[in-house]
Structure 1
Amino acid sequence: MGVKDVADAADMAVSTLFTYFPRRVVIAAARGLPTRRLVKHFRTPQPSGWLKHRLGFSQPEGWKERSLEHVLLSLHVLASIVFVGGSAVATSLFPRYAPVAAGVAVGTATGPRPSDSGKEPGEDSGERNQAAAVVLHRITRVYSLLGLVVPVAGITLANVQGRMGEIWIIVSMTLTAVAGGLLVTQIYPRLRDALSKPDDGRQLRTLSMLAGIYNLMWAIVVVLMIVRPGSGSGV
């Protein structure tokens, strides 16, 4: 065996020592320090994955569960802002642009009155816009369907966190169900009727009232999500 072979073997041995044992232990052994602590360290079984932990490749315990919670919470919040917020705005704006029956002045339910601008009664200085009302009606329909992601993600997140029994979760789910029922059974059919069969403005005033109730329930849900009354974690 030549000198080069000996040097290669020494390099491999040193690399192995620094790979599998703490650097300070190898240096201490090379300096001839007392070996009692070194022997104790070598005889102590190392925990599973200790090498990955020293190299920085290990993950903290429970990181998968926390990552799932972060994904569900992000999906829940983003879907609430985009889909629920979009449907709330669309239902609120619809009565402003929806058409009324010909010959009926906007803002009255008792009959026509002459228009000061010389336009036909019911044209309301150009604010009424059939195309805008159709777009708002379509937004309400599509965003309401996509908004189903909000309760699904919220209930899944509550199950993962073990919070299904907390009072704020129960009240939020109840208000969400009531708001969804109001949208499906009252608001959306009235939007469709307002487009297909315009009247003297009475159904638009009813729509405005229902949209206000719908938005109020979602506002209460948002407050519950922030305050969390009865939360077991206190955060």
Structure 2
Amino acid sequence: MTKLLLSLHVLAAIIAVGPVTVAASMFPPAARRAAPAEGDATAATALSTVALLHRICRVYARVGVAVPVLGLATALAMGVLGDGWLVTSIALTAAAAGVLLAFVLPRQDELVGQLAEQRPVDRRSTVQLAMSTGVFNLLWATVTVLMIVRPGSTTGA
């Protein structure tokens, strides 16, 4: 049962978190390219791209809830729920979710709205969004390393 849970946990992380990290990273430059300009025929296509990236982030963020749920079930089955590396990973996962929900998705919402109304996009806001996205990605990268290395593990990793 542990191997099944671990497999599902890893698959969920790859399938759910991967698209969010990529789409969120692509969003700020895509939003800058989609900014309205006089007589720009590519603005509609660029807006579609930005809207699609935002939708990917929203949908896969919801699917991503399965990652910590399966992770907790796996940890419980393995008897490592109190290990320091896991507690740290849980805290970092919560922080990543907080950054995504509090900073990344709301800012994307605002930018999609501005672009849909053909209002100019402030470069500073896309840079701030890129920074928040970078923090989100760095938190997930750290969790991934902790899941692989597992300090104090007896698996030899």
TM norm structure 1 = 0.59
Match of 1:183 among 94, 100, 117: 100
Match runs of 1:98-113 below 5 Å: 98=31, 99-100=34-35, 102=36
State the 4+ residue runs in structure 1 displaced beyond 4 angstroms: none
Match of 1:208 among 118, 130, 138: 130
Match runs of 1:162-173 below 5 Å: 162-173=79-90
Match runs of 1:70-219 below 5 Å: 70-98=3-31, 99-100=34-35, 102=36, 120=38, 129-197=46-114, 198-219=120-141
Distance 2:11 2:79 in 1: 22
Query: How far 1:82 sits from its partner (Å)?
Result: 1.1
Distance 1:164 1:74 in 2: 17
Name the aligned partner's letter for residue 210 of structure 1.
S
Query: How far 1:187 sits from its partner (Å)?
Result: 0.5
RMSD, matched Cα: 1.8
Distance 2:97 2:49 in 1: 24
Gaps of 5+ in 1: 1-67, 104-119
Distance 1:138 1:203 in 2: 19
Distance 1:210 1:200 in 2: 16
Report the count of equivalent residues: 147
Distance 1:147 1:186 in 2: 17
Which has a greater percent of helix?
2
Name the aligned partner's letter for residue 224 of structure 1.
L
Gaps of 5+ in 2: 115-119
SS of residue paired to 2:61? helix
SS of residue paired to 2:151? coil
Name the aligned partner's letter for residue 75 of structure 1.
L
For 1:229, the equivalent position in structure 2 comes to: 151
Query: How far 1:146 sits from its partner (Å)?
Result: 0.3
Query: How far 1:200 sits from its partner (Å)?
Result: 2.3
Does 1 or 2 have the higher relative contact order (CA < 8 Å, sep 6+)?
2
Percent identity, aligned pairs only, is 43
For 1:41, the equivalent position in structure 2 comes to: none
Distance 1:154 1:210 in 2: 25
Residue by residue over 1:30-69, the C-alpha shift from the partner in whole angstroms, topping out at 9 and shown as x without a partner, is xxxxxxxxxxxxxxxxxxxxxxxxxxxxxxxxxxxxxx11
